[in-house]
Amino acid sequence: MSEITLVSKEGTKIQISSQFSNLSGFIHNILQDYQQNEDISLASVSFINLQMILEYAVHHNFQVPQPPRCPITSPNIADNVSDPWDAEFVNRLNEDQIIDLVTATNFLDMKSLMDLCLAKIACMFKYKDIETLRKEYGITEEFTAEIEEKLKSDFPWAMEAESND
């Protein structure tokens, strides 16, 4: 079992088992023509994110875990993932860190961890009404009153969802 060396944005080096290619498409592609002792530089992944990604990979033993439930059924992330460790892992991050991590995993093509983060973000939106969302995320009123009325009359079932799921 060989080891590869990853270099973060800041230039910090990290040793990791080459099994990491199971989780990351990016690493998998690079390993196709990989010279021994060659450093793999990850230009858009910071050291903190890299550490978190490694923690995740080591916990799951470099195997792709079961994806989160889709569509999600509850605003609590713990109900939507099979492994409680996953829920704890994302719950200790704040929104900025999650977005950061999503960008990093997107670069590494790590579907499993990205899905986990996105499910967490989806959980933040779940069951919130439109006005709350607009207020929380600083989205200004874009639709004029007429357009909004038209939306409501065109898609009454969109408003129906406010009372449903």
Partner 1 sequence: MERSHADIEQAIQRTLKENTARAILKLTEIFGSIFSRDQFLEALEISGFNVDDTAAYLQDRLPSEKKEANESKTKPEDQIDLILQESSLNIVNTENTVEGPKTGNLALEFSLSPIYINSEVPVFYIVDEILKEIFSFFSAGERARLSSVCKTWKMIDQTTGYLYKRDCHDLWVKTSRPQGNIFFYPFNNDIELWGEEYPKNYTDSPEFCKSFKNWRNMWVKRPKIRFHGVYISRIAYFRQGQVNLDNLPSYHKVVFYRYLRFYSDFSVCCINTVKKPREYVRLVDKSNAECRLGEWGRSGNRVVMHLLAKNEIFTYQLDLKSSPGYYFDLLKLVKVQSRSAHNQEYSDLNINNDAWPKWFKFLPIR
The correct pick among 35, 43, 142, 146 for binding partner 1 (CB under 8 A) is 142
Alpha helices in 14-91 (DSSP H): 25-30, 47-59, 84-91
Q: Which is nearer to partner 1, 52 or 104 (CB)?
A: 104
Should residue 130 be labelled a site residue for partner 1 when binding is judged by CB under 8 A?
yes
CB 12 within 8 A of CB 49: no
Q: Which is nearer to partner 1, 58 or 64 (CB)?
A: 64
Phi, psi of 98 (to 5 degrees): -65, -45
Number of residues counted as binding partner 1 (CB under 8 A): 45
Q: Which stretch binds partner 1 (CB under 8 A): 11-19, 33-41, 50-58, 92-100?
A: 92-100
Binding residues (CB under 8 A) for partner 1: these are: 68, 70-72, 94-96, 99, 102, 106, 114-115, 118-119, 121-122, 124-127, 129-130, 133-140, 142-143, 148, 151, 155-165
